[in-house]
Amino acid sequence: MKVLKFGGTSVGSPSSIKEVANIVRNVEGQKTVVLSAMSGTTNSLHEISDHIINYREEEANDLIDQMIGKYVDVVDELLTEKTNQNEAIALISDRFEFIREHVGIEIPSTQIEKNIVAQGEILSTNLFHFHLKEIGASATLVSAFDFMAIDDANEPVISKITEAYGKIVAANEGIEIFVTQGYICLSHTGKIDNLKRGGSDYSASLIGAAILAEEIQIWTDIDGMHNNDPRFVENTFSLKELSFDEAAELAYFGAKILHPQSVIPARKANVPVLLKNTFEPKAPGTIIKNCEVPNGVRAIAAKDGITAIKIKSFRMLMAYGFLKGIFEVFEKYKTSIDMVTTSEVAVSVTIDDTTYLNEIIEELQEIGSVDVDTDLSIVCLAGDFSEQKTGLSTPIFNSLSNIPIRMISYGGSNYNVSLVISTVNKKEALVALNNGVF
């Protein structure tokens, strides 16, 4: 079994959906197709839920009507048989009625949002499945709610995914294509939940690892992982091969082509991940696997929304137990730390989830004096630096001679050098590093 995931742009129009069906049918053997919502849908659904949560009923209803119109047009163009068209229109009405029912109901706003944004993937997978039926493909639609689950710490429950999805596959032996939703899942209390923005990549990796797939393919709108962020830097190029470690660092530190956690299940199960371009299927793309990689910097990524917290010890020299005390505060508030740097008297850490920032600061102030900087980015240079003992830092720091650096991290692993800078300087830093490092 191969797992093929198609992102929002790949299923963004009736013609793209048809192209996806072609690609899928050209891949031999059994496959699981994981789909995102059509591009723009998740954003619009967030907007609707925002209107509903803030009691803007009219705006919510207008946007719902607009989306229904858009989806009816998709059905007109995608499907040809009247019975399929009617069933698809009935499904669209049903899903948007479900969304409308949230107006004025008494449940937490976070749950309203989760219920509403989940509908995008339900719509795209149903439409794709109708199309497969029309072209005579051997396919079945599987609800992600039947196997994709997260626990009370929002971590995927691998055992449940393995067992439940394995049973589904076993029960459909002769079927060639299993279509399911990316992104959505059930929470530990059985409520509708999701794997965070861009989470369909993570769904594909979790499924691929659970069933020990032959390969996980991530089909998107670019020909694989580039050496730098193409949204900010010109003349970037696609990398043919990446190790799991390099890809994991790049995804975690902002390479948007992959959800931050999405490499981890595949790496653990040693299932290769192939990144491919739906709009240029012949381009080789990038293969992520266990492999030897050339030494030196291979790619650069940047992650925004970073907050740095500096804790200065009340005592002059760092006493033992100082770091433990700091980390315990973050553990208590389930806030993960991305980067750590230390000096004799102070420690700086970065976080990206500021939900409990105030509580964290209050408790840290019992340990030392606390400074907080916001609107920062982590720039990550990924590669294998194990052999490169000298000369590594010169091109990096020369490139950044005009950019103030807040933190530097190297040596945690052999696979990255990370720097924290102000987000306003990010583009300049990425371009300068591109010119200086490659």
Whichever of 204 and 382 has its CB closer to ligand ASP, that residue is 204
Q: Using only C-alpha atoms, what is the Rg of the chain?
A: 23
Contact 102, 52 (CB under 8 A): yes
Measured between alpha carbons, how far is 15 from 78 in angstroms, rounded to an integer?
Answer: 8
Residue 194 engages ligand ADP in binding (rule: CB under 6 A): no
Span interacting with ligand ASP, options 156-164, 165-173, 196-204, 346-354, rule CB under 6 A: 196-204
Interface with ligand ASP in residues 75-134 (CB under 6 A): 120
Name which of ligand ASP, Mg ion, ligand ADP, none residue 230 binds, using a CB cut-off of 5 to 8 Å depending on partner kind: ligand ADP
Residue 347 CB, shortest distance to Mg ion, in Å, is 34
Measured between alpha carbons, how far is 178 from 170 in angstroms, rounded to an integer?
Answer: 12
Measured between alpha carbons, how far is 427 from 232 in angstroms, rounded to an integer?
Answer: 6
Whichever of 196 and 240 has its CB closer to ligand ASP, that residue is 196
Whichever of 142 and 255 has its CB closer to ligand ADP, that residue is 255
Residue 71 CB, shortest distance to Mg ion, in Å, is 21
Name which of ligand ADP, ligand ASP, Mg ion, none residue 120 binds, using a CB cut-off of 5 to 8 Å depending on partner kind: ligand ASP
Candidate residues 3, 9, 181, 246; the one interacting with ligand ADP per rule CB under 6 A: 9
Contact letters (x/-) for ligand ADP, 345-364, by CB under 6 A?
--------------------
Contact 342, 383 (CB under 8 A): no
Looking up tokens 């508030």 gives 333
Residue 260 engages ligand ASP in binding (rule: CB under 6 A): no
Residue 216 CB, shortest distance to Mg ion, in Å, is 14
Contact 228, 149 (CB under 8 A): no
Interface with ligand ADP in residues 196-215 (CB under 6 A): 198
Residue 23 CB, shortest distance to ligand ASP, in Å, is 18
Residue 42 engages ligand ASP in binding (rule: CB under 6 A): yes
Contact 147, 178 (CB under 8 A): no
Beta bridge partners of 346: 312
Whichever of 50 and 373 has its CB closer to ligand ASP, that residue is 50
Contact 293, 246 (CB under 8 A): yes
Name which of Mg ion, ligand ADP, ligand ASP, none residue 156 binds, using a CB cut-off of 5 to 8 Å depending on partner kind: none
Measured between alpha carbons, how far is 249 from 252 in angstroms, rounded to an integer?
Answer: 5
Count of CA atoms in the C-beta half-sphere (13 A) of 60? 23
Whichever of 194 and 228 has its CB closer to ligand ASP, that residue is 194
Candidate residues 197, 256, 312, 427; the one interacting with ligand ASP per rule CB under 6 A: 197
Residue 182 engages ligand ADP in binding (rule: CB under 6 A): no
Measured between alpha carbons, how far is 235 from 167 in angstroms, rounded to an integer?
Answer: 46
Contacts of 12 (CB under 8 A, 6+ apart): 38, 39, 40
Measured between alpha carbons, how far is 266 from 211 in angstroms, rounded to an integer?
Answer: 11
Residue 255 engages ligand ADP in binding (rule: CB under 6 A): yes
Span interacting with ligand ASP, options 198-206, 239-247, 260-268, 297-305, rule CB under 6 A: 198-206
Residue 156 engages ligand ASP in binding (rule: CB under 6 A): no
Span interacting with ligand ADP, options 4-12, 112-120, 310-318, 364-372, rule CB under 6 A: 4-12
Whichever of 8 and 208 has its CB closer to ligand ADP, that residue is 8
First to last CA, the chain: 38
Residue 196 CB, shortest distance to ligand ASP, in Å, is 8
Determine how many CB atoms are found less than 10 A away from the CB of residue 401: 8
3-state secondary structure of 369: strand
What is the sign of the dihedral through the CA atoms of 60, 143, 83 and 42? positive
Helices 82-100 and 57-78 pack at an angle, to 10 degrees, of 170
Whichever of 220 and 313 has its CB closer to Mg ion, that residue is 220
Residue 240 engages ligand ADP in binding (rule: CB under 6 A): no
